[in-house]
Amino acid sequence: MLERLHEIFTTQYGRPAAISTYFSPGRVNLIGEHIDYNGGFVFPAALSIGNYGAFAARTDSVLRFYSENFPGAGVVKADLADLAYRREDSWANYAKGVVREMISRGCAIGRGFDVAVFGDLPQASGLSSSASIELLFAAYLNDAFGLGFTRKELALLCKKVENEYIGVNCGIMDQFVIANGVKDTALLLDCATLDFEAVPLHLGDKAIVVCNSKVKRGLVDSKYNERRRECDAALAHIQTKIAVANLCELDEAAFAKVAVDLGNEILYRRAKHAVTENVRTRNAAAQLKKGDIAGFGTAMTASHASLRDDYEVSIPELDLLVALANAGGAIGSRMTGAGFGGCTVSIVPKAQIPAFRAAVVEGYYQAYGLMTDIYVAEPSDGVRKIG
């Protein structure tokens, strides 16, 4: 991968005096979906697939961005003095936003750079390709200019870029696990406090398997921001009855008491998902610690049902992949990510993976004429310099 990345860089820019190379993983969320912005617990893992970046310093203020994953965009050019969002700049807006945010905080970024990006992370698939790009650039800038940001601070900075510069009202989960991931673990993250625990993924004879629906989703154009507004509206009503800072402070009994006269079926179901998903996530992580993988799998499948019925962010393609996975021997399966497309995640006995793969691929192709990509997820360390 590194040799290929350096070839891409040289093709675009020529051979530099020195290159710094970074890797930024994608992430898969095992359980705890759409509750990071509701103050809940999530349980994601960084992945061994992601984005690689080769950076070379310049002596002027020019920035040049190229991604082999978006060759049609060509080399996107910008300047430290003009980092405004431009739709035509495509993927490079995520990188520009990070540079702009750091400069706005008084960081001394006194020169530009050339960069070539290449990755094996599917784009717009629910595996957090955008946060991966953001952290790739944040880590490089932090090191190259000695900015001194902690991993937590980098995650929060990138979240702000996504919220304010890109315009997606996401929570902290994606950026946080990409910044802080630990190999062979998932992070049980309290999104209200940012306290987290790295929980070893001791799955024994089972593995985490990701299936890509090949239905791409764009969060800005989806109903993601609408769901956030609905949760905020439900919370505002509940706060007239009880003092809580977010929906996930409520357990199911407390929610039942304050939501009886919410007066809006949609808001009720959105809030119900947030509350029940938070309980599921904490219980599922406890089950995994005790070695109850079957219980964890049951919680995953229940999570999908809630995302489909109460939160309404699944689509028929994801529902079919979950059904095919469970019929094909999965211990549990669910959509992962924001929804409206993207991927599912399942726990599958290793011995059954070949038959699982064949059955899911065939069933999905027969229904939708799409070839799903299926791969075993290997939990990885977070963003890091590799050369």
CB atoms within 10 A of CB 309: 12
DSSP H helical ranges for the chain: 2-13, 92-104, 129-144, 151-160, 173-180, 224-238, 252-258, 265-289, 293-309, 316-327, 353-368
> What would the two tokens of residue 59 be?
């002596």
CB 330 within 8 A of CB 356: yes
- The single residue of 36, 89, 114, 174 carrying the catalytic annotation is 174
Query: Phi/psi class of residue 29: alpha, beta or left (left: φ > 0; alpha: ψ in -120 to 50)?
Result: beta
CA-closest candidate to residue 364, choices 209, 207, 211, 208? 211
CA-closest candidate to residue 34, choices 279, 339, 280, 287? 339
> What would the two tokens of residue 269 be?
């179901």
DSSP string, 117-159: EEE-SPTTSSS-HHHHHHHHHHHHHHHHTT----HHHHHHHHH
CB 60 within 8 A of CB 110: no
The answer to whether residue 36 is catalytic is no
Sheet strand arrangement including 185-190: 41-42, 185-190, 196-200
- Rg for the chain, CA atoms, rounded: 21
Active-site residues, by number, are 174
